[in-house]
Amino acid sequence: MTELSGKETAVAGASLIAVVGPTASGKTRFAVEIARIAGGEILSGDSRQVYRGMDIGTGKDLGDYGDIPYHLIDVVPAGDKYNLFQYLRDADSALADISKRGKLPVLCGGSGLYVESFIKGLRLPPVPENPPLRESLAGKSLDDLTTILAKMKSLHNTTDVDTCQRAIRAIEIEEYYISHPDEAREARNPKPRPATVIGVDISRELRRERITRRLDARLQEGMLDEVRNLLDSGIPPENLIYYGLEYKFLTEHLLGKMSYAEMRLRLEMAIHQFAKRQMTWFRGAEKRGMKINWLSGMLTPEDFARQAIELYHSQFPDR
């Protein structure tokens, strides 16, 4: 690791730099370079890289890290259903660990819900399951559940209502908040973290080109075998399908539901749509008050990192 003197060494403190952007934008390379120059460590903000054994499909690219330490990658077994509450809890712990050692936390990820919630300082109480409520909601359509949830809170995004299971959980949480107003107040009035948020700006055309090229490379690297091995290990197909994208389409292909060619085509389309949704999320986050400093994804990693660190110092001159 390269240690710098003076102002750049001072970056290693309690606040953080976050690198965000759509899939295939080069976030990891840029974040790693920031950590290398500033003496930092990576804090992952990816909702699927937490799973062990899901390497190619989630694009962990661990070889890019070199000797840079990273956190919240490979922390739970594949087949589990990691959630926002767990992420915020674990990210808090990782941030404290990085900071107490005088290192710069560099948050890197494209999971907008995780990243925005963490930067905003959201804290969620450990809401227990409510079996009677779940039983009363069982069998209701997603539209019905969405209507129920919309009467309980404002729906700023579709994350809570993309499946019946998640919608029921969201209703369960809101019911808990009604009977625990102090915990609800803490959750709904977060204290933002001191963070410089850097967005990777690449053109739509380049993003699409990279997605296509990367998908073919990952298929050649053995992504299909990775999914087959996960299934052979005993993980139920529906658990892999739950993760979406690569794991959904490759699992369905292995189950004989679609040909390889159809799987390849539909997966590519789904990743393009996912990247578009990521950008929509980050543009929405800006409207919700999160300042994102967009830097060109065409910069070299070193130039990108230097500019990001300069922005950090301009925002936090005493750090």
Does residue 9 have a pLDDT over 50? no
Whether the CA torsion 156, 159, 164, 168 is positive or negative: it is negative
pLDDT bracket for residue 19 (50, 70, 90): very high
Does residue 160 have a pLDDT over 80? no
Does residue 192 have a pLDDT over 90? yes
Closest to 2 measured CA to CA, from 91, 67, 59: 67
Residues in the chain, total:
319
What pLDDT is attached to residue 157?
57
- pLDDT higher at 8 or 162: 162
- Domains in the chain: boundaries: 9-122+194-315, 131-188
**Residue 41: helix, strand or coil by DSSP?**
strand
Mean pLDDT on 192-210: 97
Does residue 1 have a pLDDT over 50? no
Say if CB 72 and CB 92 are below 8 A apart.
no
pLDDT bracket for residue 12 (50, 70, 90): very low
Non-local CB neighbours of 91 within 8 Å, separated by 6+ positions = 43, 45, 72, 114, 118
Non-local CB neighbours of 205 within 8 Å, separated by 6+ positions = none
Mean pLDDT on 197-205: 98
Whether the CA torsion 295, 94, 61, 235 is positive or negative: it is negative
Q: What is the mean pLDDT of the chain?
A: 92
Sole residue written with tokens 């990247």: 275
Is the domain covering 9-122+194-315 a CATH 3.40.190.10 domain? no
pLDDT bracket for residue 156 (50, 70, 90): low
Does residue 143 have a pLDDT over 80? yes
∠ CA(154), CA(83), CA(78), 5° rounding?
Answer: 150
Distance CA 62, CA 71 (A): 12
46-96 confidence digits (pLDDT tens): 999 999 999 999 999 999 999 999 999 999 999 999 989 999 999 999 999
Distance CA 308, CA 313 (A): 9
What pLDDT is attached to residue 243?
94
Does residue 240 have a pLDDT over 90? yes
205-232 confidence digits (pLDDT tens): 999 999 999 999 999 999 999 999 999 9
Mean pLDDT on 112-135: 93
What pLDDT is attached to residue 123?
85
Whether the CA torsion 278, 83, 18, 268 is positive or negative: it is negative
List the single range of 54-58, 101-105, 188-192, 253-257 with lowest mean pLDDT.
188-192
Closest to 60 measured CA to CA, from 69, 45, 73, 72: 73
Does residue 4 have a pLDDT over 70? no
Share of residues in the chain with pLDDT > 70 (%): 93
pLDDT bracket for residue 262 (50, 70, 90): very high
Does residue 315 have a pLDDT over 70? yes
What pLDDT is attached to residue 184?
83
Non-local CB neighbours of 303 within 8 Å, separated by 6+ positions = none
What pLDDT is attached to residue 190?
85
What pLDDT is attached to residue 141?
94
